[in-house]
Amino acid sequence: MTMTKNTAIRLNRPLSATVQIRAAHCGKPKSKYLLPCFMLLLGGGMPGKSIALPGDTVKPYAAFNMLYDSNFLRLSDDMDSAQLTGKNSKDDFVKQLSAGFDMDWNISRQHFIINANVNQNWFQNFTNLDYTGWDTQAQWNWQLGNNFNGEIGYANTQMLGSFAQLGGLFDNLQNNQRYFANGGYLFHPNGKITLGVFRTKNKFDGDSRQVSNNTEDNAELNLQYLSPTESTLGLRVIATDGSYPQRPLSTDGSRDTGYTRMNYAVTWDWRASSKTRIDGLVGYTQQNFDNFSALDFSDIVARLNLHWQTSDKLLLELSGRREITLADNLFASFLLTQGVWFNLRWQTSPKITLELPVSYQEQNYLGGSNNSQGFEQQKDKVGMVGLNVLYRPIDSISIGLVLNYEKRDSNYPIASYETQSAGLNLQMVF
């Protein structure tokens, strides 16, 4: 399926650069980004002479994608779609044409990664959502001697955001940028310290959404124990200074213009065996707003991931998470999400791979007007089940099918919805 990048910016995300994932992985625990994921489915050595290694590759590709969604805007049955959108139906059929390339290049001990994709998207029903998007990343994994290494890079993505928390038809085109740099020092054969900085900028194109434009500047410290078996145990601290540069300060204390946040976490990556890996974290998040302390929140965060390669053809993945993320609602509050995600990947033959993603999560909103004014805060329960089929008749051609069912129940009836979707992806690598 189409190569794309995971651009979800999580508050407790490690500093490492954005990592490419197959579109088939869209069923994994990124529920607030399921819609953009479907949209992307539619799309220090010694001085001397540099020598390219045999594994260096540049792979251009082109893809055509189609998506049908029965409730594209994630509207409740209690809503009048004709009044909200001017359309009698909630479904849409989307076509996407995309092209790009992936470059993975080694020069001596330096590793360079460049990925670029541009895509054009056409909507059959909500035609005012037509847009041109892109997904780019440039990264240098540097190495100096045997004890110093790190990453320097930049990523820029233009995409249509999720409508799951908007409840209507909005100009939801958004641009996400990430700048990052870090350096690590191996001060002991079993000890490493890493320092880094990164900035994230989320900017919306439409006037109605610009109040949610967000910038975060982050500094990170990682201290790790490295075992001889390649397992790790670490302590991570992230300090964040966030702002909404185009948000006016509210007079009723419901919305602030800036905040600071501290994340503390114990992390681990345990290689239990050649077939089993268990990684995750347990930590604490504290966020304080600049002007209205009633919006402040703090909570325990945790993540536990199990990867079990039962055989060469079967992989089981189970994840339990309790995380705080930016919400995609009109006023960009924050979201506490806790739940479980399961994915089974089965290679039935050398040419066919099946995936069965299933998830259930509970979502509570933080840092918004209801928190500060004593109203009942919105609480959602979201369930999802999907089926992904990847057929690769030859190495350079892939055909992907994605089926998905999603349902949300909320204590706010107008926030409940149900949707079914199906997507088809055709890709050729040159």
* pLDDT in 10s for each residue of the chain, 430 residues: 333 333 333 333 333 332 332 333 343 333 333 344 444 344 333 333 334 444 558 999 999 999 999 999 999 988 888 888 888 899 999 999 999 999 999 999 999 999 999 999 999 999 999 999 999 999 999 999 999 999 999 999 999 999 998 888 999 999 999 999 999 999 999 999 999 999 999 999 988 889 899 999 999 999 999 999 999 999 999 999 999 999 888 888 888 999 999 999 999 999 999 999 999 999 999 999 999 999 999 999 999 999 999 999 999 999 999 999 988 777 768 999 999 999 999 999 999 999 999 999 999 988 765 554 556 788 999 999 999 999 999 999 999 999 999 999 999 888 999 999 999 999 999 9
Answer yes or no: are the C-beta atoms of 7 and 177 closer than 8 Å.
no
Q: What is the pLDDT of residue 33?
A: 35
Res 378: pLDDT:
86
Contact 87, 81 (CB under 8 A): yes
pTM of the complete model: 0.84
Helix (H, G, I), strand (E, B), or coil: what is residue 40?
helix
pLDDT of res. 80: 84
Q: Please list, in sequence order, all residues whose beta carbon lies within 8 angstroms of the beta carbon of residue 383, skipping any fewer than 6 positions away.
A: 359, 360, 406, 407, 408
Query: What are the start-end ranges of the H helices in 47-168?
Result: 81-85
pLDDT value of residue 376? 76
How many domains are there within the chain? 1
- In order of 66, 349, 361, the CA distances from 380 in angstroms are 29, 39, 8
Euclidean distance between CA atoms 425 and 42, whole angstroms: 6
| Calpha distance 397→219 (Å, rounded) | 42
Give the strand pairing for 57-69 and 417-429: antiparallel
Contacts of 67 (CB under 8 A, 6+ apart): 38, 39, 41, 42, 93, 94, 96, 421, 422, 423, 424
Question: What pLDDT sits at residue 335?
Answer: 92
In whole angstroms, what separates CA 177 from the centre of its chain? 13
pLDDT at position 254: 83
The tokens for 350 are 């050398």
DSSP character at residue 128: G
What pLDDT score was predicted for residue 332? Answer: 65
Q: Which of 131, 103, 135, 94 is nearest to 117 (CA)?
A: 135
| Host domain of residue 263 | 3-429
Q: Considering only CA atoms, give the Rg of the chain.
A: 22
Here the CATH number for the domain that contains residue 373 is 2.40.160
C-beta separation of 265 from 285 below 8 A: no
CA distance 77 to 59: 45
* 213/204 Cα distance (integer angstroms): 6
